[in-house]
A and B are shown apart, each in its own frame.
Chain A
Amino acid sequence: MAHFGASALFATIILGCSSSGAYSNTFSALITDQQNRPLTDAVVELISHKPLSDTAQPVASVAQQGLMFTPFVTAVTRGSLVDFPNKDKTRHHVYSFSAAKSFEIQLYSGKPEQPILFDQVGIVALGCNIHDYMQAYIYVGESQLLAVTGSNGLAEFNQLPAGDYQLKVWHPWQLQAFVEQTLALGSITQLQFQLPVADNVKPSAPKRGFGS
C-alpha cells in the first residue's frame, strides 16, 4: 500500500507541473515496478469518456519463434483478430482456456488458416500444448488506446484528443490489480505509475535435447 500511496502523490506533482504547459496530444506513462525500475510488458489502457470513432484494427500477430511466443504480451482491442504464425520448424499447439477467449489451434506449422477473433474483454493466457513452458498473454481491452511498455517502461500515446480518460494498467506478474484512475488529459504529457510484480523471469526456450 505504501508503494501505491507514494505513486499517487508523485502523479499529482507531475500533473501540477503540466497544468501551466501548452496543450499537447501526446501522453506517455512510465510504469515501474516496486523498486522504480522500468517495467517491461505492462499494458496501459486509456478509456475515453467520449466514444471515439471505431477504426478498423489491424490484425495483431503473436508469432512462435525460437520456441517462444513473441511478443510476450500483446494488447488488442475487443473485436480484433490475432494471427499466430509459426516461424519454427516444429509444430505448435496454441491454446487458451481463458474465460475471455478459449481456443485451440491444433498442431500446425506456418500460418494458421484463420486469425482468431478476440471479442471479449479480458486476459487471455496462451500456451502451447507441446511446449509447456511457452507462455504469452493477450490483453483484450475495450478501448483502442492500448500500449505495451518496452524495456524503458514507457507506454506512449500520440494525438490524443483532450478529455477525461480512465487509466488501466496490467502486467502478467502483477501482485495486485491496478486501481483504475481517471485522468484529465490535455495538459498532461507524462505520468509515472508503480505496479508491484512478482520477481519472475520471462519464459524462454530450454536447451534442446535433440541437437536442433
Chain B
Amino acid sequence: MGFKSLRSKLIAIFVLVLSLLALATGLATLSTMKRDSEAQATEILNVATKVLRQALDIRAEQLSDSVRILAADFGFRRAVATAEQETIESVLQNHGSRINASLMLLLSPQGQLLASSDIAISMSDITPLFKQTVSGSNTTVADIIILNGQPYQLVLAPVKAPALIAWVGMGFPLDAPLAQEIKSITGLDISFVTKETNSIQLKSSTLDPAYQQLLPESLPLLLQQANTPLSNTEQDYISVALPLDKLQQLWAVQHLPNQRWLSSYQQFRQQLLLIFGAALSLALLVAFIFARSITRPLDALSLFARRIGQGFDDAPPAGGNDEIGLLGTTLHTMQINIRQREQQLLYNAEHDFLTGLYNRAAVDRLLPDILAQHAGSLLQINIQKFKHLNDVLGFNNADQLLVQLVKRLQTVLPQPLLLARLGGDEFLLVYDSLLTIAQVQGKLALLSEHYQLDNSVINIKFRAGVYHFFQSQQTVNDALRRTDIALDHALSTATHIAMYLQGQDESHQRDLTLIRDLPDALQNGQFYVVYQPKVDISKRQCHSAEALIRWQHPQLGFIPPDQFIALAEHAGNIGLITEWMLQQVLCQTALWWQQGMQVQIAVNLSVHDLLNPALTDNICSLLNQYQLPAAALALEVTESAIMQDADTVVRQLSQLRALGINLAIDDFGTGQSSLAYLKQLPVHEVKIDRAFIKDIENNANDALIVAATTQLAHSLGFSVTAEGLENRAGLPKLLHCGCDKVQGYYFAKPLQADNFSQWLLQFSTDNQSWFTAESIA
C-alpha cells in the first residue's frame, strides 16, 4: 500500500526519521546504562567478594586466637594430660562451649583422632587439615572444611604441657547466622553451597525462600565460572560464586539484586518512551502543519490548473517567493499563453485565411443571435463561372480577385451586420433591412467592374439569392438553406438575382425525402410498372408497348415519374431505377412470351445509363437470364440525353443495336437535336412528342410538322411513333401523315400487366372498332 498524497508521504518520512532517531538514541542510552549498571554490579560484587574473604579471614584469626587461648588453659591441659577419655570429652565439651564451637576434636601429636564431639567424623576428614600443621612448628592452623556434610571453619591448635601433648580442634559452622552477619557487612545476600563430587547443595542462604528455590538451577554455571558475576534466568539477581576452601568444596555465592538498577533502568525507559511519545506527537503536528503548508498551495495550484484546463479565467492563487510561488507564476503565464493561443485558434477557426472574413463556422456561431434579434435579409452572392476564371487567371490571381472583391464588399454601404465567406466564391451578407431585388442589383453593380489584375481589367458577374428573415422564425440551417435555394433559382432568372419564395423550401424538403426514400422504395414494392400499347395503325395490330414506372409513396402518395426521375438523375440514383425497371419488364415480358404473347416492350434509358459502359453487357445477360430474344426489348432515349455526350451514346447505341434491340428516340421534336446527329443515330424509330399530337386534329401546324417529320424519318429509314393521341379525331390525321404506330389515351392509358394483357386480347379480337369508318369520318 503506497502513500498516495504528498502530505502523507511527508508525514510518514518525518515520523520515520524521528522514530529511527529516537529508537537509536534510546537503544544507545539504554544499552550504555545497562552496561554501566552491569559494570557497577560487577564492581559491587567484586568488592563484596573481597570483603567476604576478609571477613572470613578475620573470623578465622579470631577463632584461632580463641582456640589458642583455650588450648593454653591450664585446666584444659591438665585434663587432656590425664588421657582419660571421659575427662577429655567433657573438657572438650566444656571449653568448646566457652568459645561457641559446635565441633570439638582432640588429636594426638601424630594426628590420631582421640576424641570428637561428632562420632561421625573420621580421621580421614581431618587429615588434610592436620597435614598443614606438620610443616609449621606447632602453630595454630585454620581452614574451612566440610565435615559430615556440614561446612565448618575448623581451627587446630597445639596443646602444650609445655611439650606438645595433643592437638585440639574446634569447628565453627558456616551457617545462616554467619550468612546474616556477613550480609550485614557486605549488604548483599549470601548463600553457602557445598559441592561434593557431583552434588551441589545449598546449605544456607539469606535470600528470600522464593529465590532460594530458584537458586539451584543457576548454581552449576556459577560454580563453573567462579568469580564471574552472572545473572540468573529471571534477571532479578546477579550472583558470583567464590570457593572458600582449598578443595573447592565449599562455596559462598553472593547475590546482588537486579531490582535496584533494574527499576531505575525501567524508570528511565519509561521516561524515554514518554519523551519519545511527546516528541512523536509534536513531530506529527509539525509534519502535519508543514505538509499542509506545502500541499495546500499545491492543492490550490492543482485546482487552478484544472480550472485553466476547463477554460476558466481564474486569478492565480497567491504564492510566496518559493518554488510553489514560482510554479503558480508559471501556471499563470501558461494560462495567459494558452488564452492567447486559444484566441488565435478561435480566430483561425472562424476566419477565412485568405480574406480575413468570417467563415462558415463563425456564421454558425454568430448568426443565431442575429436571427433571434432582428428581421432582415440574408444575401448570398456567387461569382459566376469562377472556376473558369480560376482556370484563366490562375489561382494566385483568382485569390487576388477575391481579396479585392472583399475589400469592395466591406465598403459597400450600408455595412452588413455580418460578412462571411462561405466557400470558394460564395459570400454571405446579413442586413437588418429587407432588401429588394433592385437594391441587390445596385450593390452588385458596384462590385462587378474594373478589377485590376496583372495590368488587365477584369469584370465579373454575380448571381445572388436573397432570403428575408423575421425575428425568431427560423434556425440558421433553414435560413442558409433557403438563401441557397434562392441562389439556385437565381440561375434561371434574367437578373441572376432571386428572392426566396414561400414554399420553395418545402418542395426542396420533399425532393430530399424522395431521394432519401427511393432506394428503399425500390425494394419495398412501392414501385410498379404500367404498360401503354403502341398500335400499328396501318396494320391495325398491336405488338409493342412502352413500360412506364410508377411510384406510390406511403406518405406522399403518387409521385409523378418526371419528378422523381429528374431527382434520381440529379442524385445519381437513376441507375438503380433503370436496373429495377429492366428486371421487372423483362421478367413480365418473359411471362408473356411464354404465354405466346410476343410483344416488344420499350424501356426508357437516361443519359446516365447510356454512359455506363456495362449497360450492354447487363442487358445481354438479363435477356439470357429470361431466355428472351433481343427483339422482345426496345429502348427509348431522349434527344437531350443523346446530345450530352453524343459520341459515347452513339457507340453504346450501336452495340445495343448490334444485339438486335429496337432503339427509339423519345420526345422527338422538343429537344435541340441536330439533324446532322439524327442522320448518324443508329436507331430504328422516332417517337414524336405528344406536344405535336394531342391537338393535331385542330392544329394544322402540328399536322404539318408531324407530316414533315414523319416523312423525314421515313426517308432516313426510321419508323415513326406518335405519342399522346387522345381523341379518335386525331387518328385519321396520323394515318394521313404516315405514322407507323400510335400511342395514347385513345387506345389505352398505361395499364398494369394483367390489364394490358386483357386489353391486348380484346384489341386483337375486336380491332376494327378502333378504326371504324365513322371514327375516321
Contact = CB atoms under 8 A, between A and B. Distances in A.
Contact of A125 (B72, B74, B82, B163): B163
Interface string A107-148: 000000000000000000111110011110000000000000
Contacts of A135: 162-163
Nearest to A104: B78
A19 B160 CA distance: 47
A129 B78 CA distance: 11
Contacts of B162: 125-128, 132-135
Contact of A129 (B74, B82, B163, B165): B74
A102 interface: yes
Given A97-B161, A97-B165, A132 B72 contact: yes
Nearest to B81: A97
A209 B81 CA distance: 31
Interface in B112-162: 160-162
B694 interface: no
A106 to B, nearest CB: 10
Interface string A26-68: 0000000000000000000000000000000000000000000
Contacts of A128: 162
28 contacts: A95-B74, A95-B78, A95-B161, A96-B161, A97-B77, A97-B78, A97-B81, A97-B82, A97-B161, A97-B165, A102-B81, A125-B161, A125-B162, A125-B163, A126-B162, A127-B160, A127-B161, A127-B162, A128-B162, A129-B74, A132-B72, A132-B160, A132-B162, A133-B162, A134-B162, A135-B162, A135-B163, A172-B163
Contacts of A125: 161-163
Contacts of A134: 162
Classify the secondary structure of B's interface with A: helix
A172 B165 CA distance: 14
Interface string A69-98: 000000000000000000000000001110
Interface residues of B, number: 11
Given A97-B81, A127-B160, 15 more contacts: A95-B74, A97-B82, A97-B165, A125-B161, A125-B162, A126-B162, A127-B161, A129-B74, A132-B72, A132-B162, A133-B162, A134-B162, A135-B162, A135-B163, A172-B163
Interface of B: 72, 74, 77-78, 81-82, 160-163, 165
- Chain A, interface size category, equals 10 to 19
A80 to B, nearest CB: 21
Contacts of A129: 74
Nearest to B82: A97
A126 B161 CA distance: 8
A128 B77 CA distance: 12
Most buried by B among A97, A126, A129: A97
A192 to B, nearest CB: 28
Nearest to B74: A129
Contacts of A133: 162
Classify the secondary structure of A's interface with B: strand
A128 B160 CA distance: 11
A123 B174 CA distance: 42
Contacts of B160: 127, 132
Contacts of B78: 95, 97
Most buried by B among A126, A129, A134: A129
For the complex of A and B, the 10 pairs showing the least CB-CB separation, nearest first, are A97-B81, A127-B162, A125-B163, A97-B161, A135-B162, A129-B74, A97-B78, A127-B161, A132-B72, A125-B162
B164 to A, nearest CB: 10
Nearest to A96: B161
A180 to B, nearest CB: 22
B139 to A, nearest CB: 14
Nearest to A199: B137
Contacts of B165: 97
A129 B161 CA distance: 9
A106 B161 CA distance: 15
A96 B163 CA distance: 10
B135 to A, nearest CB: 13
A145 B756 CA distance: 206
Contacts of B81: 97, 102
A197 to B, nearest CB: 14
Contacts of B77: 97
B208 to A, nearest CB: 50
Contacts of B82: 97
Contacts of A127: 160-162
A97 B79 CA distance: 9
Interface string A188-211: 000000000000000000000000
Contacts of B74: 95, 129
A11 B111 CA distance: 36
B464 to A, nearest CB: 164
A127 B78 CA distance: 12
A95 B162 CA distance: 9
Contacts of B163: 125, 135, 172
A172 B163 CA distance: 9
A7 B610 CA distance: 178
A134 B160 CA distance: 11
A95 B81 CA distance: 12
Nearest to B165: A97
B78 to A, nearest CB: 6
Contacts of B72: 132
Most buried by A among B74, B82, B165: B74
Nearest to A133: B162
Most buried by B among A95, A96, A126: A95
A67 to B, nearest CB: 13
Nearest to B83: A99
Nearest to A128: B162
A135 B77 CA distance: 15
A112 B482 CA distance: 181
Contacts of A102: 81
Contacts of A97: 77-78, 81-82, 161, 165
Most buried by A among B82, B161, B165: B161
Contacts of A132: 72, 160, 162
A143 to B, nearest CB: 24
A135 B162 CA distance: 6
Nearest to A198: B137
Contacts of A172: 163
